[in-house]
């Protein structure tokens, strides 16, 4: 039997099985095709960026570990790697770019001086590839972030430098949104905090609120640009105090009408963001997710199809939040093939969404509201053995990307032909 025939046969049986349960599989795939995942550029070069040759992630309380060969050293290499990854990812998505990935034509440009021209080649590339774009100020790996504080620094010069960077980023993103016809989400994450116990927990937070208010003073049309703020529990070197804590940004986002960014690795180890979605969305119009996989700490492992990823997707779908949740990825593993890391993580995100779209949500809610928790538990278990794989294979064929068993061959070939030749 040809492979295509096998996929089709399995799909027909699966479809029938799901429809017995009250699930319209074709409708689920249509809805899935409309979801854009924001794919982060920084998996391709371990968060190095292109401000200068050989730049690497320094400071900022985050760390990429591993030295797998073949990381992208130039913009062209990163684009070529992204092209390869995108060939394996079904659907239409977005590129999430950090400001440090600017195209400066070989001349150093300070972060408070960046302009749209430094990102035009990225916008053009995204347009060609039919990708929307999201953007991020880069407030780390920089001499002015070296003592651990940026927007909440006590030093006026340092604070103002990062404020100017933030203002520049919003203007650039506005133009990205205008040119690409879809709003660009600008996510503010800063590493600010103390390694050891501080006396004053208040003043840095007041400074941060003021800095953000200054950055956001100019109103920008949400058709083009949206602002998000990302909290964190701790970082390397900021174990005792982080200015931008969850409560800080929750209050900030609610009071200022901004998006809150929930990063899966930025909470206590047993705390999960899947349970936070419905809480924060009771008070906020929209949020951003940084889907990541913390292993014992904010380790940013490649996202896999684990219980929490499934729970995140379930909450988005069951809560009918698809229009209000911007799904971004945030992982960076330097110990495996970086293109494969993108493919695995992004495909898993899409698989989790498909799984969630294949639930008989209304029926499940009815059972719960009737108080029949026995049936609820039984149904949860029944769902686990539904023929999801057949639907996923069919979706991949439909979207003209390789199936689970095939994409790795293409990536290995690319490693042989391209990545392996990078010294």
Cα distance between residue 310 and residue 57, in whole Å:
30
**With binding defined as CB under 6 A, does residue 326 bind ligand RNT?**
no
Is 327 or 367 the residue whose CB approaches ligand RNT more closely? 327
Q: Check if 263 is active-site.
A: yes
Are the CB atoms for 309 and 355 separated by under 8 Å?
A: no
Look up tokens 């493919």; give the residue.
343
Active-site option among 98, 266, 326, 394: 266
Give the pairing of strands 94-98 and 37-40.
Answer: parallel
Q: Of 262 and 356, which CB lies nearer to Zn ion in the complex structure?
A: 262
Which residue's CB comes closest to ligand RNT?
189
* Interface positions, 179-198, toward ligand RNT (CB under 6 A): 189
Among candidate residues 51, 81, 175, 330, the one labeled active-site is 330
Task: Candidates 215-223, 326-334, 347-355, 405-413: pick the segment binding Zn ion (CB under 5 A).
Answer: 326-334
Catalytic residue among 51, 192, 225, 300: 300
CA atoms within 13 A on the CB side of 136: 28
Active site residue 232: yes
Please spell the DSSP secondary structure of 297-355, one letter per residue: SS--BPP-S-HHHHHHHHHHHHTT-TTTEEEEE----SSS-HHHHHHHHHHHHHHHHHH
Q: Has 155 been annotated as catalytic?
A: no
Task: Decide if residue 98 touches Zn ion (CB under 5 A).
Answer: no
396 CB-contact burial (10 Å; exposed 0-12 / middle 13-18 / buried 19+) = buried
- 330 lies in the binding site for ligand RNT (CB under 6 A): yes
Backbone angles phi, psi at 395, to 5 degrees: -60, -40
CA–CA separation, 364 and 379 (whole Å): 8
Residue 118 near Zn ion by CB under 5 A:
no
Q: Which is nearer to Zn ion, 175 or 263 (CB)?
A: 263
Residue whose tokens read 């032909």 = 417
Give catalytic status of residue 142 as yes or no.
no
Q: Which of 192, 263, 393, 415 binds ligand RNT (CB under 6 A)?
A: 263
* Rg of the chain in Å (alpha carbons): 22
24 labelled catalytic: no
Site for ligand RNT in 283-312 (CB under 6 A): 290, 298
Residues between 28 and 87 with contacts to ligand RNT, criterion CB under 6 A? 42, 47, 62
Residue 33: strand, helix, or coil = helix
Which residues ranging from 30 to 89 are in contact with Zn ion (CB under 5 A)?
none
Report yes or no: 170 and 186 within 8 Å, Cβ to Cβ.
Answer: yes
Among 134, 298, 330, 333, binds Zn ion (CB under 5 A): 330
- Tokens 């190095």 correspond to 48
Check binding of 290 to Zn ion (CB under 5 A): yes
Question: Is 300 an annotated catalytic residue?
Answer: yes
- The answer to whether 382 and 340 are in contact (CB under 8 A) is no
Which of ligand RNT, Zn ion, none interacts with 42 (beta carbon under 5 to 8 A by kind)?
ligand RNT
What is the per-residue binding string for Zn ion in 226-265, x denoting contact by CB under 5 A? -------------------------------------x--
Smallest distance, ligand RNT to C-beta of residue 174, A: 20
- DSSP state at residue 293: B
CA nearest to 395, candidates 123, 55, 10: 10
Binding mask 124-163 for ligand RNT (x = CB under 6 A): ------------x---------------------------
Please state, in angstroms and as integers, the Cα–Cα distance from residue 197 to each residue in 232, 242, 244, 267, 373, following that order.
Answer: 17, 11, 16, 19, 47
Burial of 346 by CB count in 10 Å (0-12 exposed, 13-18 middle, 19+ buried)? buried
For binding to ligand RNT (CB under 6 A), which residues are involved?
42, 47, 62, 136, 189, 230, 232, 263, 290, 298, 330
Q: Which sequence positions are flagged as catalytic?
A: 189, 230, 232, 263, 266, 290, 298, 300, 330
């Amino acid at each position: 039997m040809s492979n295509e025939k096998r996929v089709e046969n399995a799909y027909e049986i699966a479809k029938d099985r799901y429809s017995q349960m009250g699930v319209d599989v074709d409708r689920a795939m249509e809805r899935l095709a409309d979801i854009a995942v924001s794919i982060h550029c920084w998996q391709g070069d371990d968060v190095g960026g292109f401000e200068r040759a050989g730049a690497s992630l320094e400071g900022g309380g985050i760390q990429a570990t591993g030295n797998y060969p073949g990381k992208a050293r130039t913009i062209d290499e990163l684009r070529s790697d992204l092209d390869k990854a995108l060939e394996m990812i079904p659907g239409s998505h977005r590129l999430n770019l950090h400001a440090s990935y600017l195209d400066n034509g070989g001349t150093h440009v300070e972060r408070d001086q960046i302009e749209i021209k430094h990102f035009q080649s990225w916008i053009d590339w995204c347009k060609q590839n039919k990708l929307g774009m999201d953007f991020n100020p880069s407030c780390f790996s920089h001499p002015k972030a070296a003592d651990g504080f940026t927007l909440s620094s006590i030093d006026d010069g340092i604070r103002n430098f990062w404020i100017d960077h933030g203002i520049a980023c919003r203007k650039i993103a506005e133009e990205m949104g205008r040119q690409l016809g879809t709003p660009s989400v600008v996510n503010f994450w800063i590493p600010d905090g103390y390694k050891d116990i501080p006396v004053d927990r208040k003043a840095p937070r007041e400074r941060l609120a003021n800095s953000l208010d200054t950055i956001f003073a100019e109103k920008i049309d949400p058709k083009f640009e949206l602002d998000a703020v990302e909290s964190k529990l701790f970082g390397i070197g900021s174990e005792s105090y982080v200015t931008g804590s969850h409560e800080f940004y929750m209050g900030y986002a609610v009071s200022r009408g901004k998006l809150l960014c929930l990063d899966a690795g930025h909470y206590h180890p047993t705390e999960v963001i899947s349970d936070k979605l419905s809480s924060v969305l009771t008070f906020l119009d929209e949020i951003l997710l940084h889907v990541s996989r913390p292993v014992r700490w904010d380790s940013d492992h490649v996202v896999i199809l684990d219980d929490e990823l499934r729970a995140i997707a379930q909450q988005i779908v069951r809560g009918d939040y698809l229009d209000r949740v911007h799904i971004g990825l945030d992982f960076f593993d330097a110990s495996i093939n970086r293109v494969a890391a993108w493919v695995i993580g992004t495909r898993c995100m899409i698989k989790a969404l498909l799984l969630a779209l294949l639930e008989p949500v209304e029926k499940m809610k009815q059972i719960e509201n009737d108080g029949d928790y026995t049936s609820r538990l039984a149904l949860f278990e029944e769902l686990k053995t539904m023929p999801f794989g057949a639907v996923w294979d069919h979706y991949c064929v439909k979207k003209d990307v390789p199936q689970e068993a095939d994409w790795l061959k293409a990536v290995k070939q690319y490693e042989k032909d391209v990545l392996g030749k990078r010294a």
